[in-house]
Protein backbone atom coordinates (compact mmCIF):
# COMPACT_ATOMS: atom_id res chain seq x y z
CA UNK A 1 0.00 0.00 0.00
CA UNK A 2 2.73 2.59 0.71
CA UNK A 3 3.96 2.12 -2.86
CA UNK A 4 0.48 2.77 -4.22
CA UNK A 5 0.13 5.96 -2.18
CA UNK A 6 3.49 7.18 -3.44
CA UNK A 7 2.44 6.44 -7.01
CA UNK A 8 -0.85 8.29 -6.52
CA UNK A 9 1.03 11.32 -5.16
CA UNK A 10 3.25 11.36 -8.24
CA UNK A 11 0.20 11.18 -10.48
CA UNK A 12 -2.09 13.51 -8.52
CA UNK A 13 0.37 16.42 -8.36
CA UNK A 14 0.95 16.80 -12.13
CA UNK A 15 -2.71 16.15 -12.90
CA UNK A 16 -3.79 18.69 -10.29
CA UNK A 17 -1.35 21.29 -11.61
CA UNK A 18 -2.53 20.64 -15.18
CA UNK A 19 -6.18 21.04 -14.13
CA UNK A 20 -5.35 24.26 -12.29
CA UNK A 21 -3.59 25.60 -15.39
CA UNK A 22 -6.56 24.69 -17.60
CA UNK A 23 -8.95 26.37 -15.16
CA UNK A 24 -6.82 29.52 -15.29
CA UNK A 25 -6.96 29.56 -19.09
CA UNK A 26 -10.72 29.07 -19.04
CA UNK A 27 -11.21 31.89 -16.55
CA UNK A 28 -9.04 34.17 -18.68
CA UNK A 29 -11.20 33.40 -21.72
CA UNK A 30 -14.44 33.99 -19.82
CA UNK A 31 -13.25 37.09 -17.95
CA UNK A 32 -10.55 38.85 -20.03
CA UNK A 33 -10.82 42.21 -18.24
CA UNK A 34 -7.79 41.79 -15.92
CA UNK A 35 -5.51 41.11 -18.89
CA UNK A 36 -6.27 44.43 -20.60
CA UNK A 37 -5.72 47.96 -19.34
CA UNK A 38 -8.10 49.74 -21.72
CA UNK A 39 -11.76 49.15 -22.38
CA UNK A 40 -14.31 50.80 -24.65
CA UNK A 41 -18.03 50.15 -24.82
CA UNK A 42 -19.52 51.37 -28.06
CA UNK A 43 -23.08 50.55 -29.16
CA UNK A 44 -23.36 46.81 -28.50
CA UNK A 45 -19.61 46.15 -28.67
CA UNK A 46 -17.03 45.80 -25.91
CA UNK A 47 -13.44 46.31 -26.96
CA UNK A 48 -10.53 45.39 -24.68
CA UNK A 49 -6.99 46.48 -25.48
CA UNK A 50 -3.55 46.62 -23.92
CA UNK A 51 -2.87 49.90 -25.76
CA UNK A 52 -4.90 53.12 -25.73
CA UNK A 53 -7.76 53.16 -28.23
CA UNK A 54 -7.90 56.13 -30.58
CA UNK A 55 -11.00 57.76 -32.01
CA UNK A 56 -10.81 55.86 -35.33
CA UNK A 57 -12.06 52.72 -33.59
CA UNK A 58 -15.56 54.21 -33.39
CA UNK A 59 -15.61 54.82 -37.15
CA UNK A 60 -14.46 51.25 -37.69
CA UNK A 61 -17.30 49.85 -35.59
CA UNK A 62 -19.79 52.16 -37.32
CA UNK A 63 -18.68 50.54 -40.58
CA UNK A 64 -19.00 47.07 -39.03
CA UNK A 65 -22.52 47.89 -37.84
CA UNK A 66 -23.47 49.20 -41.29
CA UNK A 67 -22.20 45.99 -42.91
CA UNK A 68 -24.03 43.87 -40.35
CA UNK A 69 -27.30 45.65 -41.10
CA UNK A 70 -26.94 44.57 -44.74
CA UNK A 71 -27.06 40.91 -43.67
CA UNK A 72 -30.66 39.60 -43.83
CA UNK A 73 -30.43 37.54 -40.63
CA UNK A 74 -28.90 40.33 -38.54
CA UNK A 75 -30.95 41.36 -35.52
CA UNK A 76 -29.77 44.61 -33.92
CA UNK A 77 -29.23 44.41 -30.19
CA UNK A 78 -28.74 40.64 -30.18
CA UNK A 79 -25.26 39.26 -29.86
Q: What angle do CA 49, 50, 51 make, to 5 degrees?
A: 90
Q: What pLDDT, in 10s, does the model give residues 4-42?
A: 788 777 888 899 999 999 999 999 899 888 888 899 998
Tens-digit pLDDT profile for residues 37-68: 899 998 888 888 999 988 899 999 999 889 98
Q: Which pTM value belongs to this model?
A: 0.55
Residue spans of the domains in the chain: they are 1-30, 32-79
For residue 63, the SS3 value is helix
Q: Give the span between the Cα atoms of 45 and 10, in whole angstroms.
A: 46
Tell me the β-bridge partners of 39: 48
- Cβ neighbours of residue 47 closer than 8 Å, sequence gap 6 or more: 39, 40, 41, 53, 57, 61
Amino acid sequence: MPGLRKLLKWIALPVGLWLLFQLGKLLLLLFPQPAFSYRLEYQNYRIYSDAPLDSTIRALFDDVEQRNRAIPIYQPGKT
